Amino acid sequence: MKTPSIGPARRSVLLILGALAAAGGALAAAAPGQRPPPPPSVYADYHPGFADMMTMAVQPRHTKLGLAIRARNWTYANYEAGELRGAFTRMARSIPSYEGEDTAGILAQITPSLDGLRKAIQDKNAAKADAGYAELTASCNQCHESQGRGYIVIRAPAASSYPDQDFTARR
Ligand code: HEC
């Protein structure tokens, strides 16, 4: 018996159905309640290093915190102190080891000065906040010294580098 041949029109219908079934299969790969895998990122191979994170996540927050304390903007200063702490935590998670040392371990040396400053800010104690900020800045430099980076010197900001942000407290 002669097998019926599939005509070109039927073949393309079958191809389309096949493609749809494959696409459906890919979608169904994510079980219900699970997120589908993220699309491949153009930044997949960009991994900010220690110095990148210092420059983009730590330094701006140190600057803003200084400007907020100078403006006695306690609500915002409290927020920014929390953000600075968060930046250090995320750094340790992203780069667990720095030059053979445990990152969380070396970053812990900043914790006491951050704690003290946070308390002064929450108490709205201007004198203690000023002293706490100087202490925090000294801790930045102490760590730089301890890591052989004594040439990276941090100080209180002389002026705002954010012309589009108002650091004074809202009433
Ligand atoms: C636990 C140690 C540690 C602490 C705490 C620390 N740093 Fe750093 N920082 C480093 C190291 C190490 C580098 C150099 C990284 C590299 O080049 O690999 C660095 C680099 C930097 C850089 C980059 C230098 C440049 O000009 O490009 C800046 C800016 C910086 N730190 C700011 C700060 C500020 C501000 C603080 C405090 C709020 C701080 N750091 C606290 C260890 C520390």
**Residue 34: what pLDDT?**
85
Q: Where are the domains of the chain?
A: 50-146
The atom number, within ligand 1, closest to the CA of 63 reads 35
Kindly report the CATH class assigned to 50-146: mainly alpha
Model confidence pTM above 0.85: no
Residue 170 CA neighbour count, 13 Å, CB half:
4
Which of 9-18, 20-29, 112-121 is predicted most confidently?
Answer: 112-121
Give the residues across from 101 on adjacent strands. 98
**Residue 59: what pLDDT?**
98
56, 152, 161: residue to mutate for ligand 1 pocket, most atoms within 8 A of CB: 152
- Å from CA of 57 to ligand 1 middle: 10
pLDDT tens for each residue of 122-166 = 999 999 999 999 999 999 999 999 999 999 999 999 999 999 999
Q: Whose CA is nearest to atom 35 of ligand 1?
A: 59
Instruction: Tell me if 140 CB under 6 Å of ligand 1.
Output: yes
**Residue 26: what pLDDT?**
47
pLDDT tens for each residue of 70-120 = 999 999 999 999 999 999 999 999 999 999 999 999 999 999 999 999 999
Q: How far apart are CA 110 and CA 76, in angstroms?
A: 20
Q: Is a pLDDT exceeding 80 seen at residue 9?
A: no
Instruction: Tell me if 63 CB under 6 Å of ligand 1.
Output: no
Query: Mean of the pLDDT values across residues 15-29?
Result: 51
Higher pLDDT, 170 or 138: 138
Q: Is a pLDDT exceeding 50 seen at residue 2?
A: no
Of 13-17, 64-68, 164-168, which range is least confident?
A: 13-17
Instruction: Tell me if 58 CB under 6 Å of ligand 1.
Output: yes
Does residue 33 come out as left (phi exceeding 0), alpha (psi in the -120 to 50 range) or beta?
Answer: left
Residue 109 carries which DSSP code?
G
Question: 169 — phi, psi (to 5°)?
Answer: -70, 140
**Residue 1: what pLDDT?**
44
